[in-house]
Every structure is written in C-alpha cells, then in structure tokens.
Amino acid sequence: MKQYLKLKLSQKLSPQQIQLMKLIQLPTLDFEQKIQREIEENPALEQGQSSNEDSQNENQDDYSDDVNIDDYLNYDDIPSYKLNSSNRDKSEEKNIPFASGISFTQYLISQLKPINLSEKKMKIAEFLVGSIDSSGYIRLNIDEIIDDLAFTQNLFVDEIELKEVLKVVQELDPPGVGALSLQECLVIQLKKKNKTENIILAIDIIENSFDQFSKKHFEKLINKYSISENQLKDVISLISKLNPKPGGAYSGGGKPIEQIIPDFKITIENNELNLNLNFRNSPVLNISSDYNEMLKGYKLQKKKTKSQKEAIQFIKQKLDSAKWFIDAVKQRQQTLSITMQAIMNYQREYFLTGDEKNIKPMILKDIANEIEMDISTVSRVANSKYVDTPYGTKLLKDFFSESMRTTSGEEISTIEIKKILEGVILNENKRKPETDEKLVQILNEKGYKIARRTVAKYREQLNIPVARLRKEI
C-alpha cells in the first residue's frame, strides 16, 4: 500500500481583512457614505473629537466576569489619530450637489397627460414610454411590442394602431426620443427643424442612403444626389450636430450629479512635490462617550443581573466593532498615502513637468515592491482613485503601463506610444486616412518597432475608429 503526502499551501483572509480591502478600494465619496452607514448602524461609533478625557485615568480593578470593562473605557485615544494635519485641504468643500426632479420616464409621461388620447391609447403610450431606455430608444421591433402588450398588458392592438400611438410618443421632448433605431432617431430630429434645402437633403440621405452615409461613401452620395462636395459637407455638418442619444440629454431623476472627487492633491513648491490627502479620507472617529458612561455605571454595580450581563456583552460587541473600524480607517489612510507617495516619487519627472513623454513604464509590481505590500493592495488603491495635479485630475491607473523598447534600445512607456500614435492620426490627411498598416510603417520610421495588431489595440483604446470611418471631405 502506497502512501502519498500532499502539501497544500493556502491563504485565507479573515472577515476583517476582507472588509479592510474593500475599504481601501472605495473612492472618496463611497468611503464617506460607508462611514455614515457605519455610524448609523453602530451607536458606539462617533464622528468628531471626543471630549472625554477622564476615562484615561480609570483604576484597573479586577472584574470577575468574562468582559474586562476597563479595556473599553481606556479606548479614548483613538480620535487623535490623523496621518498629518497638513494632509487636510481646507479649501475643499464637503457639499455634494444633487439634481432634483422627476425621473426620465415620469418626465415623458407628464407630457402625455395634456394629449387627448383614449384610455386604450394612453395605456399603449405609457407602455411605450416605459420601454424607453436611458439613451432614449425603444429596443424592440413592432411585432415584439405588439406581443408584449398582449401578454403583459392584455392589450390587443394591430400594427396601424401601434404606429399611430408610437408617432405620438416620438413627438415628445427631447427630440428623437422613442425611436426604434439611430436612423429613425436622426430623421425625427431633422423633421422638427425648419425645412431648408439642406434639411430636406439630409432627411433624404438618412432615410434612403443611410448605409452609404454611415460607411462614408461620399463619392457615391455626390453622384447619387448630383450635389457639390461643399453641399455634402454642409449636410454632414448638420447631421453631426444631432443628438444620437436623446435620453442622455435629460439630467433629472434625482440622482447625484456625477462628479470626480480627487482622493489626492499634488502641488509644486520650489520645484518640490507636495502630496495632500483629501480631508474626506481622514475623518476623526472615536468611541461614543455615552457608551463609556454606560460601562462605568455597570462597573460600579457589585452584583449584576442576567439582563445587565447581556447588556455588557452587547456593548462589548459594539465597542469591538467600533474599535476595529477606527483602526481599519486609519490603516486605509496610511495605505493610500504610502502608495500615492511611491507613485509620485516614481513619476516625479511627469508631475514636475506635465509632459506625458516623461511618464516612466510602471507596473503594479514596481510600486508593490517599493512599499512592500501585495500587488492586489496597490491595484485596489489605483483602480478607482483620482489625483488632482497642476495639469488636471488624473486617474491613478492611467499612470501604470507596460514598457517597450525603441530600435535604439531605449525603454519607453506604452503611454508615450499611444500619444505618438494619436498625434500621427490627428495630423493625417482626412481625405485619405492612414490604415493600420501605414501607421505601423510611420511608427517604425520614428524608431518604434510595433506590430499591426498592437497598433489596432492602441487605436481602439484611444477610441479612434478605423481609417474608413475617419474619412472626411
């Protein structure tokens, strides 16, 4: 009988460690909300400086129960923690603007009410409005809408009746809402404009030559409509000003206005870099003084009832949770500062000059080795954090890039390659844009040896379309 010895090395994170990792990953606004939720859920946790100094001098009396009350009474030194008072930017405001109002769907339904529709048609219209997505489109065809009305609303309609109501919905504001396709959306918007010669031509092109227009077959359009190049250029300019996502123009819904809140701020003084942590990331937390008073009261009682002992156990749990959370916030603060400091030092030349060509190749491992932390920790810090620099607000993860060697052997960042590629495309002949193969050739001539599939990948990352779709007249 053979015996086998199998060794398995595994690492399991405790629930507290998992929570800490989640705290580190949170951006400033989410972190602020997390603190508020924690304070609401745990009455032993307070925000603000503690005024209770007496608990530091409590006598260490023996206590026969399982809970040592003095351990919790002496935990008032927590609020003094802060990494550094200079890390708080006093100029930052804590107010968060909110958009008030009704939802997009409610906004559309409110426009239906003044329209004189029968009860059945109003139900159909409300169903259509309810089917409009955030971009302003109905992502269903006519047959699917008819089926959904029958199965979900018990409304049986024919195609003629449905199109009649759909036309009413498509007359609502913003222009183009309720369209079944981009083509229909553009036509709706054009038909609401004053009928000039170019508007009439634009409608004709979108309705009858949309495929040629979208593929930028300009010569075919010129020949088909017997128009000049300048006239086609005017029509294209007119169409390009239309809104392809009419639903996105509505800013209601009562949702917070999306804004980027930098987690860090870098300033330059006397050619030296200074790093500040957003003050929202350094809250002052402490143990509730009320809970301390409660524990003092229990301590003075020689004999304790069962309910009193249960109360002490409950308080113990809340205090344990509060103490852990305070420590976790402190550790998060330290981790953010240490990681950002390392990134700032690594990319010192860029932060001093603002020239993206000075961004050094940098991977997560480089920073992890520098601060002696796990790569996953650095990733959590970089993934969702922003830094306010003299050159604008930047996402941390954008500073991480692979390296590439030039034909001369120099190691450069892929960020620099992308910047050069973007510049080449920007300066190309718009009548005859450069293909990916031609872009490879141009970059090779500049000393950057790069494959065609890599150029295609970088181009897509820069949201630059293929040569055919970049063509202009």
pLDDT at residue 15 in the model: 65
pLDDT at residue 47 in the model: 79
Query: HSE-up of 84 (CA within 13 Å, CB side)?
Result: 11
pLDDT at residue 287 in the model: 81
pLDDT at residue 276 in the model: 92
- The H-assigned helical ranges of 363-451 are 364-371, 375-383, 414-426, 436-445
What tens digit of pLDDT does each residue of 155-182 get?
899 999 999 999 999 999 889 999 999 9
pLDDT at residue 226 in the model: 92
pLDDT at residue 41 in the model: 87
DSSP string, 13-77: --HHHHHHHHHHHS-HHHHHHHHHHHHHH-TTEEES-----GGGG-------SS--THHHHT---
Spans in the chain with pLDDT lower than 70? 1-16, 48-102, 249-259, 292, 295-304
User: CA-to-CA distance for 89 and 95, rounded, in angstroms?
Assistant: 14
Q: Are 112 and 125 in contact (CB under 8 A)?
A: yes
Sign of the torsion formed by the C-alpha atoms of 59, 64, 70 and 71: positive
Q: Are 422 and 415 in contact (CB under 8 A)?
A: no
Cα Rg, the chain, nearest whole Å: 32
Question: Can you give the pTM of this predicted structure?
Answer: 0.54
pLDDT at residue 255 in the model: 46
The tokens of 294 are what? 């409660």
Provide CATH code, domain 401-470.
1.10.10.60
Main-chain dihedrals φ then ψ at residue 69, nearest 5 degrees: -60, -35
What tens digit of pLDDT does each residue of 265-277 get?
999 999 999 999 8
User: CA-to-CA distance for 375 and 466, rounded, in angstroms?
Assistant: 36
Q: Where exactly does CATH 1.10.10.60 map onto the chain?
A: 401-470
Count CB atoms within 10 A of the CB of residue 319. 24
3-state DSSP assignment of residue 393: strand
Return all residues near 393 (Cβ < 8 A) that are at least 6 apart: 260, 262, 386, 387
pLDDT at residue 185 in the model: 92
DSSP string, 239-250: HHTS-S-GGGG-
The alpha carbon of 76 is separated from its chain's Cα centroid by a whole number of angstroms, namely 37
What tens digit of pLDDT does each residue of 303-323 get?
667 777 777 778 778 888 888
Cis, bond preceding 433 (omega within 30 deg of 0):
no
Return all residues near 320 (Cβ < 8 A) that are at least 6 apart: none
